[in-house]
Structure 1
């Protein structure tokens, strides 16, 4: 019997909780900081569960084994969660999903090791799935790691090509969406869906990362620290686009990033400068283009239950983005 979406997501939640349970007796410790830290991120109310939702809807489209999909969706959340824990250490982030980050609430050591724990649990949780699914999951972790290292190396640079940003976005974001689609189709032995769902993930991942970058410039109630990319000297898509549009903005950003610290007023002003160049509006337009490409990649599957919901969902992501006027 096919579960409802909420039932499926509840099963994923329970799988996360059981996987991160702490054995006080075996560890001789009643202070399970590692498990508590991992749960703090993975069970945060602000978690979008985008990857489990994709698995569920793709599963509807191909008649997948939903027992295996719970494991695949949990692995997707764990790999994603590990990347967030490690990113927050690199970025010195203080707010994630509307709550203090693990590195802020505990410390960097706990955040790094909690991320390592999630990576280990992610692969262990695929023991019932075809071996190829676990193999591709390991490839995703390697891809994400290479992209994250490159992202760290270009920090503070005002000469980052758009194509280099796309390489990083493909590694950090698209790779996991691609894996969710391909893994779901694999459980149904549908090779055409495997290719099409993977292509969807590539395009949607780029759009998703662009949207995340845009929300950093146009803060909402997303639960993230506003203007974090400017503050952390991270060349996000709107920042790169604004530099390509305006040499004056490139110069202003370069001067700010070459100083050891920046005042909050200056960070805010740089964010408004980005909007004034039109880069935020252009980013929103490109997001819509990428989302259309993602939907087109589904081909005939877009007419099936599940993929119809995916198409509606990703279009709504674009519609929900804030308008780009300066404030």
Structure 2
């Protein structure tokens, strides 16, 4: 089953959000930055954050005219972080397409990321709820800290696995968490509801990112839309590699890779697969997924709750 089939009942609202995202980005249609932004948007994506916003809003007074602005803002913040990530990681390919920094340059990419972020904040001004703005502001600060940490930790084989969990919390889990929470806040849901939705989204986000990091070793370039092992080639130590580095010979291999012997990546990937590290990382991802589903159990029955459950299981167990 495709992910979109799980939330098919939201298709009309998602299509509207997609169309209005393009309109928001093309507002300055003479700008090269608008062109670059549109390229990223049209490259696709799972749109998990807008979907989670809409589902969160189903726990309150659902009004698409109000909720769409939150959904678009969260997706734009996510897009801005991707543009900046590609500069930091010197990535030439994303979702099978040239990155903005590859097609233009780093300067255009950084301005594009800033432009997209600015558009997201512009959309959020239409939401009068003060708490929503506090939640979003905190999340943006944490995402920025996550990006800085990623730069600091690159190529560092002495870092602690705790730094990895803190990094993925800031770079991935928090935006998914606040997507669930802000949808509920903007729809006027009770605090007990939106606080539980935050934790549901946080645990799902942690599972989601760990699964992404596993797939970087186990999937093909065609499935990933980028070369397999890209994270490691860019100096990012992820959970499977932390486990693999428990083998003394692995550290020597990765040191040589980081020193420029990039042709070692295929052998390293195969060693990681044989080491049992993938299975260990999968168990951690499953633990976070179980926590997410436990939090969800505390919420009242609804179609939105059931859809959250199915999406969480899908993205936590996906193979692509």
Same fold (TM over 0.5): yes
> How far apart are 1:302 and its partner, in Å?
6.3
1:63, CA displacement in angstroms?
Answer: 4.0
Counterpart-to-counterpart distance in 1, 2:212 and 2:66: 29
CA deviation after TM superposition for structure 1 residue 36, in Å: 0.7
Alpha-carbon distance between aligned partners in 2 of 1:75 and 1:241, rounded to the nearest angstrom: 36
Judged with a 3 Å threshold, the aligned counterparts in structure 2 of structure 1 residues 276 and 296 are, in CA distance, closer, same or farther, namely same
Matches within 5 A, 1:57-136: 57-129=55-127, 130-136=129-135
Task: Find the counterpart in structure 2 of residue 180 from structure 1.
Answer: 179
Take 1:79 and 1:136, find their aligned partners in 2: how far apart are those partners? 14
Distance 1:15 1:190 in 2: 29
C-alpha distance in 1, partners of 2:159/2:291?
25
Of stretches 137-146 and 296-305 in structure 1, the one that deviates more from structure 2 is 296-305
SS at match of 2:269: helix
2:219 maps to which residue?
A: 219
Helix, strand or coil: the match of 1:306?
A: helix
The C-alpha deviation readout for 1:50-101, integer Å capped at 9, x for no partner, is 1011112222243433222211110111110010000001111111122111
Kept in 1, the 8 Å contact 2:204–2:316? The answer is no
* CA apart distance, 1:217: 0.8
Post-superposition offset of 1:189: 3.2
Match of 2:241 among 222, 235, 239: 239
Q: Aligned pair 1:21/2:26, yes or no?
A: yes
Aligned to 1:263: 262
CA shift for structure 1 position 191: 0.5
Corresponding residue number in structure 2 for 1:149: 148
What's the secondary structure of 2:298's corresponding residue? helix
Q: What count of residue pairs does the alignment treat as equivalent? A: 309
Deviations 1:239-270 (A, max 9, x none): 112113x122123212332x1x2233x11111
CA distances 1:125-168 after superposition (whole Å, capped 9, x unpaired): 01221132123222211101111111111111112222111111
CA distance in 2, matches of 1:21, 1:263: 39
Query: In 1, distance between residues paired with 2:300 and 2:281?
Result: 25
The within-5 A match list for 1:256-295 is: 256-257=257-258, 259=259, 261-264=260-263, 266-295=264-293
Name the SS of the counterpart of 1:20 in structure 2.
Answer: helix
How far apart in 2 are the matches of 1:288 and 1:41? Answer: 31
From 292, 296, 299, give the equivalent of 1:298.
Answer: 296
SS in 1 for 2:58: helix
TM-superposed CA distance for 1:105, in Å, is 1.2
> Hey, what's the Cα distance between the residues in 2 that align with 1:59 and 1:22?
27
Query: 1:194 aligns to what?
Result: 194
Tell me if structure 2 keeps the 8 A contact 1:154–1:160: yes
Structure 2: segments with no counterpart, 5+ residues = 1-7
The aligned counterpart of 1:325 is none
Change over 3 Å in CA distance of 1:43–1:132 after alignment to 2: farther
Provide the C-alpha distance between the structure 1 equivalents of 2:156 and 2:265, rounded to a whole number of angstroms.
16
Report the aligned-residue RMSD: 1.7
Taking the aligned partners of 1:115 and 1:21, their CA distance within structure 2 comes to 14
